[in-house]
Amino acid sequence: MDYSSFEDTIVAPATVPGTGAITVIRLSGPKALDIAGNIVKCKSRSIEASDANSIRYGTVTSEDGSVVDEVLVSVFKAPHSYTGEDSVEISCHASSYVASEILRLLCDSGARVAEPGEFTRRAFVNGKMDLAQAEAVADVISSSSSASLRVAMNQLRGGFSTELKDIRERLLEIASLLELELDFSEEDVEFADRAKLSELLDGVIKHITSLASSFRQGNAIRNGVPVAIVGAVNAGKSTLLNSLIGDDRAIVSDIPGTTRDTVEEAITVDGILFRFIDTAGLRESDSEIEKIGISRSLKKLAEASVVLAVLDSTVSVEINETIINDIVSKINPEEQKLIVLFNKVDIITPNRTVTLLNKDVSSSNSKVVKLYISAKDGFGLELLKNELVLSQKDLTLDSDQTIVTNFRHYEALCKAASALEKVRSSIALGLTPDLLAEDLRDALTHLGTITGEVAPDEVLGQIFGRFCIGK
């Protein structure tokens, strides 16, 4: 998008027409007040003459003088608006016809329909927020749990940006000293004490690495904690998924191998979003289709943060031992939580006691949680939900904690840390300041891409193109 297009006045619905009592239509740009005044008539002062941060009552009329709707108009004057421009928000009745007619009248009066994310892009260009904060706007809108909302709001308020600013200032101090040495290279003067430089780099690298390492946690907060439901065929995996989400999402049948592909659904438990993945039963099969399903199951198993190993409590100890040993061999106990579920306890035979069930996972880690459930009638599912929440206790974070949730930010942090590692190595080798300065500039550039100090137009297009039209 050419920045010269910001001379236009843009318009778009900020709400979905027909889904509530009102629809809000947003207008922003140098002629926003004039264009709104062309179609909205107020009894006293015009829209153009209205005070900033005021709400006016008026009537929208069409070209022939007929009334389209009675509306409330919120007036914002530059620079005190979301975009930093003169802006108007028209609240009309939530009729699709009324909203489209008002949009038509505004466009006929000189506005144009906004592109996706153009309001927020203007806010970024006009210095109302940096790029990291702008991206947080979309995260706030799409947040589906209290944890994801807290993280997004912290970023929107500038928590992440403040940390990055502090890091950049420390690096700029180092860079300025090195650049000064380059200016006096013929005098062989050393302005930056190398020992102090290394010490400062150690702290910055540690800070950046800590932020980058939070991405795994942040990704779970933003997209949901991936929970793989695995086990043998007919153990009750699909029944468990249906019971957890309260819907018949997965096909349930007594026929072995019914689930041939992964089925995913998400629910929020105590403010944490969990993304459950029902997988194909693990077994040897001659069916090519089932083999593909099992291969996908193993992939989801490797990617999951939590693994629910569903065992059939009605089968023998030896069978369950084989199944659980196979599952344990495929997970990383350092990064993945394993919860073993003995299902079908509602039909357990008299000689199949809980004491006997306890022996089924004797070869697994003692930290493994074992629960006895009936996916069919819901027995034990509340305990399971409690264990899921406990397994992700780090996600119930304080509102001021900075967590990286965006892969673009994670990638930039990793590149910045790598460049600074090169600087640290170069210092240890006693290399010249020009080589140190080059890698230091690379690190600053990577950090600058996060907040927008360095922002190629195509990158901005990709970021704001993912926004909705009215934002």
Is 84's pLDDT higher than 90?
yes
Is 251's pLDDT higher than 50?
no
Buried b (16+ CB within 10 A) or exposed e, 422-435: bbbebbeeeeebee
| Domain span(s) for CATH 3.40.50.300 in the chain | 226-395
Across the strands, what pairs with 25? 13, 90
Distance CA 330, CA 94 (A): 53
33 Cβ neighbours under 8 A, 6+ residues apart: 47, 48, 50, 75, 77, 86, 88
- Does domain 3-129 fall under CATH 1.10.10.10? My reply is no
pLDDT in tens, 191-220: 566 777 888 889 999 999 999 998 988 888
pLDDT in tens, 312-347: 888 888 888 888 888 888 888 888 889 999 998 888
CATH code linked to domain 226-395: 3.40.50.300
Cβ(264)–Cβ(223) below 8 Å:
no
What confidence category does residue 468 fall into, taking pLDDT thresholds of 50, 70 and 90?
A: confident
What confidence category does residue 172 fall into, taking pLDDT thresholds of 50, 70 and 90?
A: confident
Considering 28-32, 236-240, 423-427, the range whose residues carry the highest mean pLDDT is 28-32
Instruction: Provide the strand spans (E) within 297-363.
Output: 306-312, 337-343
Is 151's pLDDT higher than 80?
yes
Domain 136-214+404-451 fold is: Four Helix Bundle (Hemerythrin (Met), subunit A) (1.20.120)
pLDDT of 90 reads 96
What confidence category does residue 303 fall into, taking pLDDT thresholds of 50, 70 and 90?
A: confident
| Domain span(s) for CATH 1.20.120.430 in the chain | 136-214+404-451
**Nearest Cα to 379, choosing from 441, 313, 468?**
313
pLDDT of 320 reads 84
| Separate counts of helices (H) and strands (E) for the chain | 16, 13
Cβ(99)–Cβ(23) below 8 Å:
yes
Buried b (16+ CB within 10 A) or exposed e, 319-335: ebbebbeebbeebeeee
pLDDT of 330 reads 82
What distance, in Å, lies between the first and last C-alpha atoms of the chain? 16
C-alpha torsion sign, points 31, 34, 39, 44: positive
Is 107's pLDDT higher than 50?
yes
What 3-state DSSP class applies to 115?
Answer: coil
CA dihedral 129, 134, 137, 138 (to 10 degrees): 170
Cβ(261)–Cβ(250) below 8 Å:
no
Mean pLDDT of the chain: 82
288/87: higher pLDDT: 87
pLDDT in tens, 369-400: 888 889 888 888 999 999 998 888 766 555 46
| Domain span(s) for CATH 3.30.1360.120 in the chain | 3-129
